[in-house]
């Protein structure tokens, strides 16, 4: 169900009417049911998969708590790892198995090792990447004692999992903050509703007016062989603006919709294109994802506590996974590694030069913005080859070659 359709508007109004009409104790079941209806409208056959995964992760969480009280092979750490691996494996099968088999078939064909393997392809379940990241957060934080055991019940967890405003494009929630709000049972607040409407209108404006207008100029990026460098440069700038207004618009609608239910979800964007460096850009853009990458990938790999070489390696691994999370294609991996390299260079610059040399803010913002523009070329291209063709043509058009 797309946010910018009349179907969603009718669905939202009906959900709000029921939600605020029922007693506080019935609000969580209303949100769970609304999430199921939302999901069934889009891809009904996978609803039971998502609910099944939710129940497995929830039971694994209870198992972690019980494992603390008894000695067995299944220690809390092992149960946590199992609870992380199950949804991660499901994500791999549905989203990455085809890419893995196709890549392996290319290797088999190149070395003439025999007939290709059969390609298995599945329709990717709606929101599976967001589900899995929230499941991983839940298991890790529960294991680390960051989640109050008193907040654990199946109603809270299913509401957290199936909360439809964040189901498609985030923001990525944290169970601690979300479940606390569920337990408070806030009364309807006019100020919150008005702010929610303001955010929704802002999101619609970003999406339908700005993003859709910029998208009219991005078509050349799909066929760079038949376009000139100047046209491709315009397309790259347009895509840079289109993806920001598209995604931040959807985030605004999700945040505003959530406010209508009296609930707050994380902010996602804070003018990232005005950042002075790539690290600041990641802190201000897609904030719920960047904080997840930091907390559940970069820090567990060793973060900044290791030597400088390992630290840079950790950055590349974390950002490479971030890139692949966005899509099952090698150009997404290239986008992630490109940003990982940018973060690494920024970190080295800060260590060896620090405050001894600072660019004027307009120059720093200009350079950071154009670094991001080049990255979006990898992201927007149908494949890695076309991305490289686009960059090559823009570069030679720029130098006059």
* 392 given a catalytic annotation: no
Angle between helices 27-42 and 47-67 (to 10 degrees): 130
CB 50 within 8 A of CB 76: no
Alpha-carbon gap, residue 153 to 259, rounded angstroms: 23
In angstroms, how far is CA 13 from the centroid of its own chain?
A: 27
Contacts 24+ apart (CB under 8 A), 49-53: 49/90, 49/125, 50/125, 50/128, 50/131, 50/161, 50/162, 51/158, 51/162, 53/86, 53/87, 53/90, 53/131, 53/135
Considering only CA atoms, give the Rg of the chain: 23
**Active-site option among 326, 339, 346, 392:** 326
- DSSP letters for 42-54: H-GGGHHHHHHHH
| Distances, alpha carbon 273 to alpha carbons 118, 319, 351, in Å | 44, 19, 24
Alpha-carbon gap, residue 215 to 235, rounded angstroms: 9
Alpha-carbon gap, residue 309 to 313, rounded angstroms: 6
First-to-last C-alpha distance (Å) of the chain: 47
Largest CA distance in the chain: 72
Residues annotated catalytic, as ranges: 326
């Amino acid at each position: 169900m797309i946010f910018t359709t009349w179907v969603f508007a009718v669905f939202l109004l009906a959900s709000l009417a029921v939600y605020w009409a029922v007693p506080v104790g019935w609000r969580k079941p209303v949100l769970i049911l609304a999430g199921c209806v939302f999901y069934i409208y889009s891809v009904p056959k996978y609803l039971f998969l998502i609910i099944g995964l939710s129940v497995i992760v929830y039971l694994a969480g209870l198992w972690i708590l019980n494992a603390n009280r008894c000695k067995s092979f299944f220690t809390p750490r092992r149960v946590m790892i199992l609870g992380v691996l199950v949804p991660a494996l499901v994500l791999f099968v549905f989203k990455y198995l085809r890419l893995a088999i196709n890549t392996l078939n290319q290797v088999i064909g190149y070395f003439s090792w025999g007939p290709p393997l059969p390609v298995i392809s599945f329709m990717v379940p709606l929101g599976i990447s967001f589900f899995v990241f929230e499941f991983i957060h839940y298991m890790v934080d529960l294991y680390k004692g960051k989640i109050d055991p008193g907040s654990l019940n199946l109603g809270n967890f299913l509401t957290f999992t199936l909360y439809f405003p964040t189901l498609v494009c985030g923001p990525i929630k944290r169970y601690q903050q979300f479940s606390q709000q569920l337990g408070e049972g806030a009364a309807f607040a006019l100020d919150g509703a008005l702010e929610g409407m303001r955010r929704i209108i802002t999101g619609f404006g970003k999406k339908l007016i700005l993003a859709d207008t910029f998208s009219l100029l991005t078509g050349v990026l799909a066929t760079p062989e038949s376009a000139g460098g100047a046209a491709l440069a315009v397309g790259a700038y347009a895509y840079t603006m289109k993806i920001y207004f598209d995604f931040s618009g959807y985030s605004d609608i999700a945040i505003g919709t959530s406010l209508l239910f009296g609930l707050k979800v994380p902010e996602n964007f804070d003018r990232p294109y005005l950042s002075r460096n790539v690290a600041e850009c990641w802190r201000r853009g897609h904030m719920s994802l960047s904080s997840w990458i930091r907390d559940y990938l970069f820090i567990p790999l060793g973060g900044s506590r290791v030597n400088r070489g390992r630290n840079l390696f950790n950055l590349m691994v974390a950002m490479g996974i971030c890139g692949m999370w966005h899509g099952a294609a090698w150009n997404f991996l290239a986008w992630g590694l490109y940003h990982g390299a940018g973060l690494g260079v920024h970190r080295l610059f800060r260590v060896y030069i620090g405050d001894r040399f600072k660019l004027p803010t307009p120059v720093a913002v200009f350079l950071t913005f154009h670094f991001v523009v080049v990255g979006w070329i990898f992201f927007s291209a149908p494949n890695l080859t076309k991305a490289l063709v686009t960059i090559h043509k823009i570069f030679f058009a720029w130098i006059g070659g």
